[in-house]
Chain A
Amino acid sequence: MIGLSHYLVLSSLLFGLGLYGVLTRRNAVAILMGIELMLNAANVNFVAFTRFVDPTFVRGHVAALIVITLAACEAVVGLALVINAYRHLETVNVDQVDLMKG
């Protein structure tokens, strides 16, 4: 029998993978993908919790749908920014983007 904890472990793994990606990838697009993984980890949680804690109102399902929409919006703006940055800075390697520091 697959219980809540299984979903939570899955979601935690996803979240950890996303975190790992954000912290280790140098490519801005890859970092963005890591962030998407983290958002989807939250979605898994929402859906799983709906099933086990809040089955009547299915608020978690609604939440997941909203988050998917928002993630898409964010990705659109983010990719536009990355492309624009690439045009000027001629790199998407975030380790080379450190004009400003201190």
Chain B
Amino acid sequence: MTVDLRPLAPEVVVAAAALLALLADVFTRTSRARAVWWLVALVALGWAAGAVWTAGEGAFGVLYARDGLANALQLVGLAVAAGGMLLARDYLARVGLDRGEYYALVLLSTVGAMLMVASQDLLFLFVALETLSVPLYVLAGFARDSHRSQEASLKYFLLGSFASALLLYGVALVYGATGSTGLARLAGAEGSFPLLVGLGLVVVGLGFKAAVVPFHAWAPDVYEGAPVPAVAFMSVLAKVGAVGALVRLLPLTLPHLLPAWQPLLAALSAATMVVGNLAALRQTNLKRMLAYSSVSHAGYLLVGVAAGNGTGVWSAVYYLAAYAAMNLGAFGVLTFLERAGVEADEVEDLRGLADRSPALAAAFAVFMASLTGLPPTAGFVGKFYLFMAALQGGLLWLAVVGVITSVVSVAYYLRAAYAAYLGPGRAGVRLHPGPWAGVGLGVSAAATLLFGVLPGPLTTWAQRVAALLR
């Protein structure tokens, strides 16, 4: 039996780059030499993106399908990885954490996310999930001298493995119910009780990765403690993987069980939007606020999954792309700031940013507006699509919850944006310009605005995914 490895080419390229970066780091002493490997890793990401772009459809046995959804979300994942690398470079060099492992870990977990959104088998999904998660545990603890970073890493690891174990048990139950772990068999399965319990556990595991309430409690603590560029990267990538897998599992594979899972997903989505936004209101720590914001966005993404229709599926893809741009940017702004030798992560630390760097403050305002969902930004268009999908799916109440929670969220996003325009700057807060991070931020801001003003091309691109719906 021959197996065609070509559909896997993008993943192989990224994984090879990761191993190369890991190996090269052993023999690299100077920062300049490291920069070369960093560039090599970026080139590999670009190459992989090119390969995905031209890949078309394909499959690797029964485990892996390269289809519209996989291609779309893999491109988003690769873009997130590239953004994460751009944002990390200047920051890591500044704080003395410039080690090749960082880039290797970023690339490895990207491979995990890429496999996750393409996996056609639950066991394969589990392996991909671990490939995504384990590097993230390490990334969270990458600032080895920071107590908070260590605590973040420990918490993330313990809770993450716990959630993975639940997911695996769910996979075992599904296997028992259908005699296979493949999605192909699942697609025709009847909704027996063991199957539903197994599916429920899989949803719990994926919901954990996406930070869905009530499986979200790790997110604020981990995001607060982990180094900023790592948070920027992981907060988006984990959502790409988890929401991608949820989309593939529920609306694409199990549309016939819609009555069983739709109310649950809708309830999870509503709870996530409400709790995430409420908890963010009182935060004074910007990283923590953005962490809760990231929780609430898991809720908005689930609106698309819960809607269960074609619009919901491609809206979720669209919103993931928009979210990648705006969230990378929002955290990215923080990589520029430093207070007394540590990360400046309080909302107050933003004060006077507009005087020191008008461009940075303007970009931050754009990201905040987009996360709120104000027009004309990507966040507005994305939320509009998602709520439309909910209406089409007969979930009027969910759309109402979404609109109302978005209104509440104005309060805290705006407070942060406002702080950037209030002078004078807080004593001890310093601004470190970084050329590469600047490029990353510029691209994110441009994308956030572009997807908002001219959403047409991205929409058409995302809509191709809906063709997968049976």
Contacts and interface: CB of A to CB of B under 8 A. Distances in A.
Interface of A: 11, 15, 18, 22, 28, 31-32, 35, 38-39, 41-43, 45-46, 48-49, 53-54, 57, 59-60, 63, 66-67, 70, 73-74, 77-78, 81-82, 84-85, 88-89, 94, 97-102
B141 interface: yes
B151 A81 contact: no
Contacts of B127: 66, 70
B162 interface: yes
Interface in B127-170: 127, 130, 134, 137-138, 141, 144-145, 147-148, 150-155, 157-158, 161-162, 164-166, 168-169
A84 B146 CA distance: 11
Nearest to B122: A63
29 contacts: A31-B158, A32-B158, A38-B166, A42-B169, A43-B172, A45-B173, A45-B175, A45-B176, A57-B180, A63-B123, A63-B171, A66-B123, A70-B127, A74-B164, A81-B153, A82-B154, A84-B144, A85-B153, A88-B150, A89-B147, A89-B151, A89-B154, A97-B155, A99-B148, A100-B152, A100-B221, A100-B288, A102-B220, A102-B283
A57 to B, nearest CB: 8
Contacts of A67: 126, 168
A85 B154 contact: yes
B175 A60 contact: yes
Contacts of A98: 151
B144 A59 contact: no
B377 to A, nearest CB: 29
B180 A81 contact: no
Given A42-B168, A70-B130, A97 B175 contact: no
Given A32-B158, A66-B127, A100-B152, 7 more contacts: A28-B154, A46-B175, A81-B157, A84-B150, A88-B144, A89-B154, A99-B147
A46 to B, nearest CB: 5
B157 A78 contact: yes
Interface string B172-187: 1101100111000000
A85 B134 contact: no
Contacts of B153: 81, 84-85
B224 interface: yes
A38 B221 CA distance: 25
B161 A35 contact: yes
Nearest to A44: B172
B158 A28 contact: yes
Contacts of A53: 175-176, 179
B225 interface: yes
A85 to B, nearest CB: 4
**Which residue, of B144, B155, B158, B180, has the highest number of chain A Cβ atoms within 10 A?**
B158
Q: Helix, strand, loop or mixed for chain A's interface?
A: helix
Given A84-B150, A89-B150, A63 B134 contact: no
- 8 shortest interchain CB distances as A-B pairs: A45-B172, A38-B165, A49-B176, A42-B172, A100-B221, A42-B168, A53-B179, A85-B154
**Which residue, of B138, B145, B166, B176, has the highest number of chain A Cβ atoms within 10 A?**
B176
A31 B158 CA distance: 7
B266 to A, nearest CB: 27
Contacts of B224: 100
A93 to B, nearest CB: 11
B405 to A, nearest CB: 20
Nearest to B149: A88
Nearest to A55: B179
B145 to A, nearest CB: 7
B180 A59 contact: yes
Given A35-B162, A97-B154, A41 B169 contact: yes
Contacts of B168: 38-39, 42, 67
Contact of A100 (B151, B175, B176): B151
B150 A85 contact: yes
B158 A54 contact: no
A73 B173 CA distance: 23
**Which residue, of A46, A48, A66, A98, has the highest number of chain B Cβ atoms within 10 A?**
A46
**Which residue, of B154, B165, B166, has the highest number of chain A Cβ atoms within 10 A?**
B165
A81 B161 contact: no
B130 A74 contact: yes
Contacts of B171: 42, 63
Contacts of A32: 158, 161
Contacts of B169: 15, 38, 41-42, 45
Contacts of B165: 18, 35, 38-39, 42
Contacts of A46: 172, 175
A73 B157 CA distance: 13
Contacts of B150: 84-85, 88-89
B220 A100 contact: yes
Interface string B285-328: 00010000000000000000000000000000000000000000
A45 to B, nearest CB: 4
